[in-house]
């Protein structure tokens, strides 16, 4: 009402404004600016665009507030679904990672096996460990049905693991080299000094029967000597972690080459045929021919092994050969279990380190149950 009175009172002015505006519009319709756009359109766009922009901004804000604060009744359900999906994906991811790791391990085993086709091996998986915390044993998923026999060596591409001490139809028990009852014929790769790697239990394996005069250095590679009739020679056992003089032999602690507490896949040696190094970088585990001339190299198959032996091979040969003086260090003949073996100082032959004793020890390692 007040607006109508205002317009009526200023009617001439309002009419003037209307007349001018109408003519301005008429002009704007005729005049063309850049890009041949009529001025009227240009003005319309200039007027409408900010309004539309402001409207769009306001609408988006309102919509954002609505969707961000009020319309969240589906967010909880969606969140739960996403969490469930995330859990499934994480589980799937872990499965894939585990499969990938297993694939890598198996690829390593396969590569090692293919690199040594002359040696019969059987892949196995670690399925269990000993319930006795004092013993270092584990179970693998291969047994009698897979032609697994006692005293077969168990290795990985990284080094030796232990030996079979008990077999069952579908599984076998492996005595790790870290067990206190374990003994492995070994030698220092650099000086070819022979000794026996004994499992020390909690303290870890250590190399025994190395006289104090022998030069040993930390990090020196320890390999198998092959004298135990279980492991072929020159398989990597580990490295010298620390050493110090003892009485009567040096105390040399050996760091195993294999992480014995993280084993998942292993190889069981079905024969004791020598595994020759294939690569130059494996020379750390290789022994010089001269130093191994007096080491038994006869292929040995444990009792009951289904492996076909080469022609002329006498299964009893290991026991016979074991009577041969073993090393220049004067170490006793190596059996799977060194219990009862009398250590002998290097370069000396004490009465108890006779060939008979060594033969007995070899016979135990070749046919009997050493840990019983």
Partner 1 sequence: MASVLNPTAQSESNIEVHRFYSGAVIAVAFLALILQAFLHKYGTWSELVDLPLLVTIYFGVSRRNPVSGLLLGAAIGLTQDALSHDNPIGLYGIAKTLVGYVASSVGARIDTEHPLSRFALVFVLFHFQQVILAIMDRVLLNHPAPMFTLRLLLSSFATAAAGVVLFALLDRLRRSS
Burial of 125 (0-12, 13-18, 19+ CB in 10 A): middle
306 secondary structure, DSSP code: -
The contact pattern for partner 1, residues 31-50, with x = CB under 8 A and - = no contact, is x-x-----x-----------
For residue 11, state whether it binds partner 1 (rule: CB under 8 A). yes
User: Least separation, in Å, of the C-beta of 66 and partner 1?
Assistant: 44
User: Least separation, in Å, of the C-beta of 16 and partner 1?
Assistant: 5
Give the β-pairing of 206-208 and 221-224.
unpaired
End-to-end CA distance of the chain: 118
Cα–Cα separations (whole angstroms), residue 346 to 185, 193, 330, 355: 15, 9, 5, 16
User: Least separation, in Å, of the C-beta of 25 and partner 1?
Assistant: 8
User: Least separation, in Å, of the C-beta of 45 and partner 1?
Assistant: 16
User: Least separation, in Å, of the C-beta of 60 and partner 1?
Assistant: 35
Hey, how many other C-beta atoms are within 10 angstroms of the C-beta on 352?
12
User: Least separation, in Å, of the C-beta of 70 and partner 1?
Assistant: 48
* Strand, helix or coil for residue 58: helix
Between 13 and 44, name the residue whose CB sits nearer to partner 1. Answer: 13
For residue 286, state whether it binds partner 1 (rule: CB under 8 A). no
Q: Which of 6, 7, 9, 16 binds partner 1 (CB under 8 A)?
A: 16
* Cβ proximity of 327 and 353 under 8 Å: no
Which run of H or of E encompasses 164? strand 159-167
Between 39 and 251, name the residue whose CB sits nearer to partner 1. Answer: 39
User: Least separation, in Å, of the C-beta of 7 and partner 1?
Assistant: 13
Between 20 and 63, name the residue whose CB sits nearer to partner 1. Answer: 20
Q: What is the CA radius of gyration of the chain?
A: 42
- The region, left, alpha or beta by phi > 0 then psi within -120 to 50, assigned to residue 144 is alpha
For residue 352, state whether it binds partner 1 (rule: CB under 8 A). no
Between 25 and 101, name the residue whose CB sits nearer to partner 1. Answer: 25
For residue 26, state whether it binds partner 1 (rule: CB under 8 A). yes
Q: Cα–chain-centroid distance for residue 40?
A: 77
Between 39 and 255, name the residue whose CB sits nearer to partner 1. Answer: 39
How many chain residues interact with partner 1 (CB under 8 A)? 16
* Cβ proximity of 205 and 199 under 8 Å: yes
Interface residues toward partner 1, by CB under 8 A: 11-13, 15-16, 19-20, 23-24, 26-28, 30-31, 33, 39
């Amino acid at each position: 009402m007040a607006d109508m009175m205002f317009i009526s009172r200023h009617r001439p002015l309002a009419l003037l404004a209307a007349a001018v505006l109408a003519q301005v519009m008429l002009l704007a319709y005729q005049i063309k600016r850049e890009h041949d756009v009529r001025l009227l359109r240009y003005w319309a766009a200039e007027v409408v665009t900010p309004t539309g922009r402001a409207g769009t901004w306001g609408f988006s804000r309102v919509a954002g507030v609505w969707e961000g604060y009020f319309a969240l009744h589906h967010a909880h359900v969606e969140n739960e679904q996403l969490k469930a999906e995330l859990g499934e994906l994480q589980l799937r991811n872990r499965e894939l990672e585990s499969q990938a790791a297993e694939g890598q391990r198996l690829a390593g085993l396969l590569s090692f096996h293919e690199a040594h086709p002359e040696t019969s091996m059987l892949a196995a998986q670690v399925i269990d460990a000993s319930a006795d915390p004092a013993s270092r044993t584990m179970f693998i998923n291969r047994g009698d049905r897979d032609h697994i026999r006692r005293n077969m060596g168990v290795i990985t591409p990284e080094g030796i693991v232990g030996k079979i001490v008990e077999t069952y139809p579908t599984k076998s028990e492996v005595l790790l080299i870290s067990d206190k009852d374990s003994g492995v014929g070994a030698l220092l790769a650099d000086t070819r000094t022979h000794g026996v790697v004994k499992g020390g239990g909690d303290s870890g394996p250590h190399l025994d029967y190395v006289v104090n005069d022998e030069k040993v250095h930390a990090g020196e590679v320890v390999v198998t000597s092959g004298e135990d009739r279980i492991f072929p020679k020159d398989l990597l056992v580990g490295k010298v972690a620390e050493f110090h003089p003892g009485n009567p032999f040096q105390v040399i602690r050996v760091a195993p080459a294999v992480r014995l507490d993280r084993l998942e896949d292993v190889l069981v040696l079905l024969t004791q045929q020598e595994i020759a190094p294939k690569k130059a970088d494996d020379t750390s585990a290789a022994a010089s021919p001269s130093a191994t001339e007096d080491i038994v190299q006869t292929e040995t198959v444990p009792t009951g092994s289904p492996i076909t032996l080469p022609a002329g091979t006498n299964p009893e040969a290991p026991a016979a050969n074991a009577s041969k003086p073993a090393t220049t260090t004067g170490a006793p003949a190596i059996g799977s279990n060194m219990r009862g073996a009398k250590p002998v100082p290097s370069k000396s032959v004490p009465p108890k380190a006779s060939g008979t004793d060594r033969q007995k020890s070899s016979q135990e390692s070749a046919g009997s149950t050493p840990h019983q």
